[in-house]
Amino acid sequence: MPRKETTITSLKDVELTHFHSGGRACSREKIYVSGGIPGERVEIVSQRGKGFRSGTPVNILRASGDRILPFCVHANICGGCPWQHMRYEAQLVWKRDILRRALDKYTIQIPPEGLPETVPSPLEKGYRNRVEYTFEAGKGGEMNIMGFHQPGDLSSVFDCKECFLLPEGMHKMALEIKETALEKEIPFYRFEDRSGLLRNLTLRCTTTGDLAVIAGFTRNEPSSILPFFEILTSRFPGVSSWAYTVWDPHSTSRYYAPDFCHYTGKTYLEERSGTLRFQYGLSSFYQPNPVQATVIFNHILKQAEGFITETDPVYDLYTGVGTIALTLADKFKKTAITGIEGNPEAVGDAINNASLNNVPGTQFVEGDILKTFTHSYIARNGSPSLILLDPPRNGTLTEIKKTILAAQPAGIIYLSCNPVSLAWDLKQLTENGYRLTAVRPFDMFPHTHHVETLAVCRKES
């Protein structure tokens, strides 16, 4: 069958009506427009391919009252915060609308009190606790740059001059690390032939003051790496952890895990949420907006009060480093709370955090959720009063939902970073004896289309 060709046409006077779940403004004709705002009429250069049309405005015929000037010089080429052309208050409104449309698509009945407004992030800028830069040597080696990939293009990098998503001083430090690499003549990675040594740089920070620097190399070459790190540690004494990874430059796997090497300093980061302390490894996951994460944890705590008993256990699926499980365990000290997680390093962190916060009654189990959280597991450990789950972006598997339904908990609390997969999962739950009693959107990522949602289901009597 001949391959479909992409055709480019000029379309005038396109009216945008809403945001698609992927973050682009959309017209009634289902033309997806990057950089548009619903309510605008725009002239675009459109591409037709893969069954839909997409485009970018070349002329705004009627601008939205919510349109503002982007605050970053990279706004047109960076995918990190593509909604910065829109007032923050409007971002919150449209995130709620994206959630509403997802629930409507799968006919999920919203509670009688309606869908609340999106809870704003306490910080609109400087909220991210993690960043990963990519290095690239230009053709012929005439230009060495450090920055980010453009949306949809993993084969090139633009040179990043500023980034407002990071806490103050982090991007400046990254630029100074880049200059140090140039001084030491560390060859940057080259995409065209996969040569070079320095591939990426990850910076991680916490609200408690911890700061980790993790450089990524294509091979373990101590004669170059160790002198480089020796200079860096002397120039940046405030960094608490130093490490590096070794990548296979020929691996094309999206989920490839590099070898991890600790150089000096602490082997963990520490974050606080309320009165609790959470320590986690340099490669472990923690919510990227930790201040907003604490707000969400407190909302979960309030919702859980209506379900938790002293006699029935609570299961926290995809528990990670134990943040939600330990938040509950700190208050409901007589309730048996078990967290289940497939990442062994995260489970080790969770066990350590239980000891760190003096909540020894909490149990953490390592294992794939599908294989661990089974009917036999429930038979051995008891039917729960509450099940919590915070799954990956694509939601949870049908078989896991079947096990949840078989466990018959009084309540299910679901934290989701994807409204579409959340709505699909809620469909199975609400068609099998559960009713959505509360749902609340939270803004975890200002200036993006991403929205975090807390949904609560109660078993029908």
Strands of the 452-459 sheet, one edge to the other: 363-366, 337-341, 314-317, 386-389, 411-416, 452-459, 434-442
Query: 10 Å Cβ neighbour count for 17?
Result: 13
Whether the CB-CB separation of 349 and 281 falls below 8 Å is answered with: yes
User: In a 10 Å sphere around its CB, with 0-12 CB exposed, 13-18 middle and 19+ buried, how is residue 280 labelled?
Assistant: buried
Q: Which member of 26, 81, 163, 417 is catalytic? A: 417
> Residue 226 phi/psi, 5° resolution?
-65, -45
Whether the CB-CB separation of 246 and 258 falls below 8 Å is answered with: yes
* Cα-Cα end-to-end distance for the chain: 55
Pick from 328, 327, 362: which is nearest to 347 by CA? 362
Helix (H) or strand (E) holding 210: none
Whether the CB-CB separation of 199 and 135 falls below 8 Å is answered with: yes
- What span, in angstroms and rounded, lies between the C-alpha atoms of 207 and 211? 10
- What span, in angstroms and rounded, lies between the C-alpha atoms of 130 and 325? 23
**In the block, residue with structure tokens 């590099």:** 258
Whether the CB-CB separation of 156 and 150 falls below 8 Å is answered with: yes
| Residue 417 designated active-site | yes
Q: How far is residue 363 from each of residues 337, 358, 397, 410, measured CA to CA in Å? A: 6, 13, 23, 21
Query: 10 Å Cβ neighbour count for 90?
Result: 18
Residue 20's identity, in one-letter code, is H
What sections of 137-221 are H helices per DSSP?
170-183
* E runs forming strands in 237-356: 241-246, 259-265, 268-273, 276-281, 314-317, 337-341
Residues tagged active-site: 417
